[in-house]
Amino acid sequence: MQNQLIAACEAKHAKSDIPHFQVGDTIIVHQKLLDGVKERLQTFEGDVIARSGAGARESITVRRLVQSEGVERIFPIHSPRIAKIEVKRAGMVRRAKLNYIRDRVGKATKIKPDPKRQVVLDAAVKVAAVETAMAAAIANKENNTTGESKRAAKRKLKAESTKK
Amino acid sequence: MALGLLGTKVGMTQVYNDKDGLVEPVTVLQLGPCPVLQIRTADRDGYSAVQLGFKDKPRKNAIRAEQGHVASGLKSKRKDARLKGGVQLLEKADCEPQRFIREFRVDAPTVKVGEKLAVSDIFGSVKAVDVIGTSKGRGYQGVMRRHGFHGLPAAHGAKKVHRQAGSTSSLASNRGSGRPKKGLKRAGQYGNTRVTIRNLAVVRIDTENNLLLVRGAIPGHNGSYIIVRPTNKYGSTHGIVRDAGPAKNKVVLAKKGK
């Protein structure tokens, strides 16, 4: 049993928007990086080979092949530096930790797809795409309430600036 | 010296830094609220200090002395006699008997007896703390575990002596005295001693639950009593220096002229 006070300290960090994924799935991790003063996103795509920890302390190990060399990265998934996690492919595995993949070469490193869960994933992606499109459309409409075209707005701006 | 607080070690966990989102290993400390039980003054006691208590103790478990220390209402023949004799009695905190009572040496205390001190009162603007606790007891241990000795060879003719300290007398600094030097490292009780860890960075303060999160580990078991004070380390890397340290001569590097 975890101490309630410790749980209270961690509760602040736990994210609620982490998608459901399992060991064996292929995911894309969007990580925020500080590039000088600017912040930019870096993505890392690979197979989840381990999930460890619980609650806000949970972390995942993601493995991918870069120029036929295995690269593994460990991400604390509740970190504020992780912008987004996308689930790309559902995999079917029989183990909680896929450490055996490290010893495999070539075709043997592939994880068997899980078509049943893949269907659910694809549906979710479609729904999300529609939603974002709708949201974009609504936002667009709100911006153009005056009925002006973009070009007209630009011209107006220019005229104002020359006046000054 | 600065006033600190009493509390318990709750345990360790990790949190994300507010500044850049990095993981910080922290120890969660529950501190206070600590009632001020007594103020020691130089005139009466020979030194000035503030006595704090932590954690209420059920009255039925407290002995009369413990009850009388905090409660002004407790009747006693001696008290009556002293009052009759015109002795001015000390102010009492009028709280429950306390489990853990310690004093902090404070030159000019600003707190009053009976006041309850919370984390934010003491550590609101403090960036680093010292934590005093009792380390985990490990029992009677040999020199290898207790002092990190290397022991004697496993082979090369070593006979039944593999984890011993080796020769304990005839050290060069002690030659001719005929006995081992004082303070020689030997087997004995390891742990269960008072340990101070200085200059631990304060990561967060949770006033709601009276928690203080400090970076790094502290001595003792979870749930053990601890004393926490603002750090007295001169030149603390965490940016706060309690007392002005020794005056340093400014070193001015002579610039090479052309």
Task: Name the B residues in 134-163 with CB < 8 Å from any A CB.
Answer: none
User: B208: nearest CA in chain A?
Assistant: A8
CA gap B100, B220 in Å, rounded? 16
Sign (positive/negative) of CA torsion B69, B73, B75, B78?
A: positive
- Of B24, B241, B10, nearest to B128 by C-alpha is B241
Residues of chain B with pLDDT under 50: 242, 258
SS3 category, A117: helix
Give the pLDDT of residue B258.
45
Q: Are B8 and B223 in contact (CB under 8 A)?
A: yes
Instruction: Please count the CA atoms within 13 angstroms of the CA of A22 that sit on its side-chain side.
Output: 14
What does the pLDDT look like over A43-52, one tens digit per residue? 999 999 999 9
Strand order in the sheet with A82-89: A69-76, A59-66, A38-52, A26-35, A82-89
Residue B256: what pLDDT? 55
- Running DSSP on this structure, what letter comes out for residue B115? -
Mean pLDDT of A96-110: 92
Q: How far apart are the CA of B85 and the nearest CA of chain A, in angstroms?
A: 50
A138, exposed or middle or buried, with CB in 10 Å at 0-12, 13-18, 19+?
exposed
- Token pair, residue A14, equals 């736990």
**Model pLDDT, residue B14:** 92
* pTM for the full predicted model: 0.79
* CA separation for the pair A119, B66 (Å, rounded): 70
A9 contacts on B by Cβ (under 8 Å): 13, 15, 26, 28, 204, 206, 211, 213
Q: How far is the C-alpha of B124 from the C-alpha of B210, rounded, in Å?
A: 12
Tens of pLDDT, residues A124-151: 888 888 988 888 888 887 766 556 667 7
- B28 chain-A contacts, CB cut-off 8 A: 3, 5-6, 9
Query: What CA–CA distance (Å, rounded) separates B183 from B177?
Result: 15
**Whole-angstrom distance, CA of residue B41 vs CA of residue B109:** 9
Q: Which amino acid, one-letter code, is at A82? A: I
**In the 8-state DSSP scheme, what is residue B185?**
-
Specify the pLDDT at position A79: 92
pLDDT number for residue A157: 80
Taking alpha carbons only, the member of A113, A69, A88 closest to residue A29 is A88
Q: Identify all chain A residues contacting B11, using CB atoms and an 8 Å cutoff.
A: 3, 6
Chain A interface disruption, residue of B8, B10, B215, most A CBs within 10 A: B10
Q: Average pLDDT of A18-22?
A: 92
Confidence check: pLDDT of A86 > 50: yes
Classify residue B60 by its DSSP letter: T
